[in-house]
């Protein structure tokens, strides 16, 4: 592998970090765009994927593209959240605006493709329709529990509806939503998010209008809790390291990175697990025997969803957004 694709990690500095005016291009070599060449070299490897998290690799792609995916997943993939909250009654200790803010931050399980964007140029009375708005209601009254255990001090036993949770928000389908959301009613991704605590006589009654939005406008619309990447670590053992020295070498790395073979010689088992702490560079006995680095074109992505949609769907939507941006630039009159 060319040294141009490796970012060098030394004791007190990081080398080969500079780029050219054209990212990924070096002084010599043929860098003319070839779609077939890109298809042959580009790779996507999925390490693990669950309902909420995904870890995958994008290999042989430019940093600008990888970072574009990261930024789009955070701030430009649309999702649904409460935008307008209409308070009818709130005698709890939480102020109206604080309660509305907490409701807005609750991730909702809803397919954003089922809704249209709100036209903000319209009058507010006509702005929200069944095509672009989901209505959630919250009606809770706290009362004493006449059957509470004697000497109990637990509010959940002493009172009814002492705690108000996200699951208390009820979906109220409007018009055609009865059919379109029949198989997937809108519910909070995490039903046990605490919204408020009530005591006898206190009451909350409200309606929340939920619309499409993007994280660039407000964090409540961001579908990811985190979306990040790191470069694949590289560990090159230049000279053989054996015996007790191999054991000390192994201890300089996180568990599973370095192993020792039957001949007592250290070898790299899984560089992916390395955190590039540079601990090994502190020891004189390994000076000149190991070289650390990171692959410039190998990105390890970690995407954690809020639960609004699956992480793979978030990534697929980010690809669609980036494609639309490219199409816009290609067809833009200025670009012509």
Reported as a single tens digit per residue, the pLDDT across 202-212 is 999 999 999 99
Paired tokens of 3: 């040294």
Strand segments, DSSP code E, in the chain are 6-9, 14-15, 43-49, 53-59, 79-90, 108-109, 134-141, 143-144, 159-160, 163-165, 170-171, 187-188, 194-197, 203-213, 224-237, 258-260, 266-268, 290-305
Let me know whether 112 and 205 are in one domain. Answer: yes
Say whether 2 sits in a helix, a strand or coil. Answer: coil
Let me know whether 31 and 126 are in one domain. Answer: no
Let me know whether 121 and 18 are in one domain. Answer: no
The count of structural domains within the chain is 2
Q: What is the CATH number of the domain that holds 214?
A: 2.170.120.12
CA distance 266 to 195: 54
Paired tokens of 334: 């200025």
pLDDT at 1: 44
CA distance 134 to 80: 9
Residues 6+ away with beta carbon under 8 Å from 23: 62, 63, 64
Let me know whether 93 and 208 are in one domain. Answer: yes
CA distance 91 to 239: 73
What distances in angstroms separate CA 12 from CA 24, 278, 287, one per listed residue? 25, 9, 14
Check if the beta carbon of residue 72 is closer than 8 Å to that of residue 95.
Answer: no
Let me know whether 83 and 202 are in one domain. Answer: yes
**Is 17 inside a domain boundary?**
yes
pLDDT at 31: 65
Q: 30: which strand partners?
A: none
Q: What is the CATH number of the domain that holds 234?
A: 3.30.1360.10
The low-confidence residues of the chain, meaning pLDDT below 70, are 1-3, 19-31, 335-336
User: Quick one: angle between helices 311-331 and 63-75, nearest 10?
Assistant: 110
Let me know whether 131 and 211 are in one domain. Answer: yes
CA distance 107 to 227: 16
Let me know whether 42 and 91 are in one domain. Answer: no
pTM of the model: 0.85
Residue where the block lists tokens 């001090």: 153
Check if the beta carbon of residue 208 is closer than 8 Å to that of residue 171.
Answer: no
pLDDT at 16: 82
Let me know whether 30 and 149 are in one domain. Answer: no
Q: Region of 151 please: left (phi>0), alpha (psi -120 to 50) or beta.
A: left
**Is 330 inside a domain boundary?**
no
Determine the structural domain holding residue 65 and report its residue range. Answer: 3-76+226-238+289-301
- Domain boundary residue, one of 188, 221, 254: 221
pLDDT at 120: 84
Q: Which is nearest to 299 in space by CA: 54, 57, 45?
A: 57
Let me know whether 114 and 192 are in one domain. Answer: yes
């Amino acid at each position: 592998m060319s040294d141009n694709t490796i970012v060098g990690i030394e004791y007190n500095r990081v080398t080969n970090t500079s780029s050219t005016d054209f990212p990924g291009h070096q002084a010599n070599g043929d860098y003319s765009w070839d779609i077939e060449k890109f298809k042959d070299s580009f790779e996507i490897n999925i390490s693990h994927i669950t309902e909420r998290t995904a870890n995958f690799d994008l290999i042989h792609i430019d940093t600008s593209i990888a970072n574009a995916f990261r930024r789009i997943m955070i701030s430009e993939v649309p999702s649904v959240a409460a935008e307008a909250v209409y308070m009818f009654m709130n005698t709890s200790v939480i102020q109206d605006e604080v309660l509305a803010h907490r409701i807005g931050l609750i991730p909702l399980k809803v397919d954003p493709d089922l809704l249209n964007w709100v036209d903000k140029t319209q009058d507010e009375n006509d702005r929200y329709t069944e095509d672009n708005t989901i209505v959630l209601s919250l009606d809770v009254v706290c009362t004493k529990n006449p059957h509470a255990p004697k000497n109990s001090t637990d509010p959940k036993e002493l009172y009814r509806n002492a705690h108000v949770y996200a699951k208390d928000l009820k979906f109220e389908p409007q018009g055609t939503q009865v059919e379109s959301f029949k198989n997937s009613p809108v519910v909070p991704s995490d039903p046990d998010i605490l919204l408020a605590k009530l005591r006898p006589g206190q009451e909350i009654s409200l309606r929340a209008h939920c619309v499409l939005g993007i994280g660039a406008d407000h964090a409540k619309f961001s579908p990811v809790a985190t979306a990040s990447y790191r470069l694949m670590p590289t560990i090159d053992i230049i000279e053989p390291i054996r015996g007790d020295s191999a054991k000390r070498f192994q201890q300089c790395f996180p568990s599973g990175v370095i192993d020792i073979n039957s001949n007592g010689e250290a070898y790299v088992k899984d560089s992916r697990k390395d955190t590039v702490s540079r601990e090994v560079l502190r020891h004189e006995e390994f000076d000149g025997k190991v070289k650390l680095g990171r692959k410039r074109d190998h990105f390890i992505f970690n995407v954690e969803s809020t639960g609004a949609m699956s992480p793979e769907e978030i990534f697929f939507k980010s690809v669609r957004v980036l494609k639309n941006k490219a199409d816009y630039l290609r067809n833009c009159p200025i670009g012509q």
